[in-house]
């Protein structure tokens, strides 16, 4: 076994629970900052949607990162955790008036606006407050990403952003509105992207579009490239950190000019730091399968059921011979499966399993389906 879980401290706890490795989080934040040392105008905003657990938000805010939010609730969570308002960016195709007003009152750094209709509403609400709203336009770059089908965002068929061919008119309108300050462009092509050519293609689109707008007399102050860097779900022990050097180098090489660049990384920051710890309730021999039935369900971690995504699973309690199990939860859904034909050290009732790399889109997407309580969280320090 290669993991380093404090298994003794786990034994007395009620399962399931999330366990976060704070040392790994700090190492990850340091690794990102090391890449930005020579880029003083580049800034990373942690994507709060990946995990809004206040303890983790506080760590990330204290390390000097900004926050990327997609709802009024996330803006409030970021403010409560100590992120500076000016370092908060706020995206989303459907911002309600109260959410826009919250952002205006707090003085957040940027509204990433996704339609002309939203732009006009922000202008009116800013006027009612006697302020000017800093705005970037979210562009739909029509660039595919090699990732799970449910989580591409940058294609023309996706609901996000303003189609790249139509941005010029909306930018001109933004420049004309008295309570809007047009600052720049925002992009995001998808999530769990490991093929860096996708980000290189995005750079090409950004360069082309920026050049076109500027040739029309529309000044582009800065660029937000979104997030999307993937992690190695299959190798949490040998590759616990994403390849930040290659990721940032892709942008250092790909983007022309020297405009300030904003990033919105979520998964790559927090996914490897979290594991869902669950206990084996029963081992069941089926006709064709052997099941390890655990006490965590799809309500605690919905990713495998929702996207057929893979999380490495380890038996923390056993050194027995490896056998294939379908690891399933107790929810009343056939899709409540964490993994099929997973090789685990022989399982017994009461064994603790770790479902790895669950720090992103785990706790934040949890529900109380089947009247199940939300799993609590514990931390390595």
The site for ligand LLP (CB under 6 A) is made up of 47, 49-50, 68, 91, 151, 153, 188, 191-192, 226-229, 264-268, 303, 307, 360-361
CA separation for the pair 284, 253 (Å, rounded): 54
Q: Nearest distance from residue 175's CB to ligand LLP, in Å?
A: 23
Tokens read off for 87: 């370092």
Q: Which CB, 136 or 315, lies closer to ligand LLP?
A: 136
Q: Which CB, 151 or 218, lies closer to ligand LLP?
A: 151
Give Cα 28 to chain centroid, integer Å.
15
Q: Which CB, 304 or 344, lies closer to ligand LLP?
A: 304
Tokens read off for 137: 């336009």
Q: Nearest distance from residue 211's CB to ligand LLP, in Å?
A: 23
Q: Which CB, 125 or 229, lies closer to ligand LLP?
A: 229
328 CB-side CA count, 13 A = 22
Q: Which CB, 68 or 232, lies closer to ligand LLP?
A: 68
Report whether 126 contacts 101 (CB < 8 A).
Answer: no
Q: Nearest distance from residue 366's CB to ligand LLP, in Å?
A: 12
Q: Nearest distance from residue 76's CB to ligand LLP, in Å?
A: 18
Main-chain dihedrals φ then ψ at residue 2, nearest 5 degrees: -105, -5
Q: Nearest distance from residue 14's CB to ligand LLP, in Å?
A: 25
Q: Which CB, 131 or 260, lies closer to ligand LLP?
A: 260
Q: Nearest distance from residue 106's CB to ligand LLP, in Å?
A: 19
Which parts of 261-310 fold into alpha helices (H)?
A: 267-270, 303-307
Q: How many beta carbons lie within 10 A of that of residue 217, not counting itself?
A: 8
- Alpha-carbon dihedral sign for residues 221, 226, 232, 238: positive
How many residues in the chain?
Answer: 381
Rama region for 226: left / alpha / beta (φ>0; ψ in -120 to 50; rest): left
């Amino acid at each position: 076994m290669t993991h380093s879980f404090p298994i003794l401290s786990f034994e007395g706890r009620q399962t399931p629970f999330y366990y976060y490795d704070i040392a790994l989080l700090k190492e990850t934040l340091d690794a990102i900052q090391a890449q930005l040392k020579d880029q003083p105008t580049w800034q990373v905003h942690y994507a709060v949607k990946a995990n809004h657990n206040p303890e983790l938000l506080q760590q990330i805010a204290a390390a000097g990162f900004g926050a990327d939010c997609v709802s009024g609730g996330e803006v409030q969570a970021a403010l409560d955790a100590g992120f500076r308002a000016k370092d908060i960016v706020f995206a989303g195709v459907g911002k309600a008036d109260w959410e826009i007003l919250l952002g205006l009152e707090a003085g957040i750094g940027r509204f990433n606006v996704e339609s002309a209709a939203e732009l006009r509403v922000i202008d009116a609400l800013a006027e009612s407050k006697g302020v000017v709203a800093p705005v970037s336009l979210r562009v739909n770059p029509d660039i595919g990403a090699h990732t799970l089908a449910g989580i591409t965002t940058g294609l023309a068929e996706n609901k996000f952003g303003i189609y790249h061919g139509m941005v010029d008119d909306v930018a001109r309108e933004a420049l004309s509105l008295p309570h809007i300050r047009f600052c720049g462009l925002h992009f995001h092509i998808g999530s769990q992207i490991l093929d860096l050519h996708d980000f290189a293609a995005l750079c090409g689109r950004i360069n082309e579009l920026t050049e076109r707008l500027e040739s029309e007399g529309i000044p582009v102050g800065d660029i937000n490239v979104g997030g999307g860097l993937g992690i190695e779900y299959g190798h949490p022990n040998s590759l616990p950190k994403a390849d930040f050097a290659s990721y940032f180098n892709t942008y250092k090489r790909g983007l022309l000019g020297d405009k300030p660049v904003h990033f919105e990384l979520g998964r790559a920051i927090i996914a490897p730091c979290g594991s869902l710890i669950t206990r084996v309730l029963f081992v069941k021999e089926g006709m064709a399968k052997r099941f390890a039935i655990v006490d965590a369900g799809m309500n605690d971690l919905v990713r495998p059921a929702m996207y057929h995504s893979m999380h490495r699973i380890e038996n923390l309690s056993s050194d027995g011979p490896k056998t294939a199990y379908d690891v399933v939860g107790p929810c009343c859904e056939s899709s409540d499966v964490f993994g099929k034909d997973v090789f685990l050290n022989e399982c017994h009732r009461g064994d603790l399993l770790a479902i790895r790399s669950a720090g992103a889109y785990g706790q934040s997407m949890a529900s109380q389906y089947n009247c199940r309580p939300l799993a609590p969280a514990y931390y390595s320090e």
